[in-house]
Structure 1
Amino acid sequence: MTAYDVDKLMAEARRLAADYHKATGLTLPLSNEIARHDAMRLLDLQAPAEAIAGVDAIGTGERAALKFQIKGRVLFEESRTRQRVGQLGFDGQWDIVVLVLMNEEYQPLELIEASRETLSAALAEIKPNKRGAMTVARFRNLGRVVWQAEKQAA
């Protein structure tokens, strides 16, 4: 039993990261840790028992034995540039990438997954291949939404 509640710690990390961005316009490097936490919680994934190259989580249930690489991206309204997904490490042993898109408060909006085969084929078409990177829009087109926040009534 741990002395800390991870969900409470993550809520505080979200608040701190959002406040820091509002105050400075800069981002704290927390989005990937928050994304991993959210993906594992929302998709019922588990941390691997032993470190596996390029693998952040292992599937359970009908996804048992699938290996997941998890990426996170915060979508800030003021950003005018095309958002990019972090570099995909094809030397790792993952099967699926889950992209966790978050709002300015670091709350999950959408989880999108795409297979290794789909992403590899898409990146092969990009000339030159920008070290395994692609835009969020391209990833959205290639993947499928596996979780989405409920729309709040206005």
Structure 2
Amino acid sequence: MSDDGGRGGGMGGGTGGLVGIVLVSHSAAVATAVAELAQGLAGGGTTAPIAAAGGTPDGGLGTSSELIVRAAEAVGTGAGVAVLVDLGSAVLTVKALVAEGDELPGGTRLVDAPFVEGAVAALVTASAGGDLDAVEAAAAEAYGYRKV
């Protein structure tokens, strides 16, 4: 799940394939587990590219611009990259990277969505060929999933 997990082809909503998904967590284990869960729930066949960018380069808790940029580059196909984050500094780090605009692939977008449910919805939609707007909408819609 770190760099190229789930790379797939097929129809996509953009100039070069499927929308990529990056999951940013303060924990590498959490980001990787959520990526694995999303892939498992997305069903068989080709899935959109998804990458985990969790923790710091030395394996600690935190967020890393370097890991986020590397993950976005790994999943960027030209159709856009949806970035989902867990909390706090992950949000701030991605916002800063998007604002700078020169390190992330074109069409990279911070998506306001719940981390787990949003990741599943984003990956399913991207894998079905949804464009970046559709992927963002599906992930954000996950805020409405009621559990009781």
**Same fold at TM > 0.5:** no
- Could you tell me the TM-score, scaled by structure 1's length? 0.31
- Could you tell me the TM-score, scaled by structure 2's length? 0.32
Structure with more of its chain in strand, by fraction: 1
Name the larger-Rg structure. 1
Higher relative contact order (CA 8 A, sep 6+): 2
Structure with more of its chain in helix, by fraction: 2
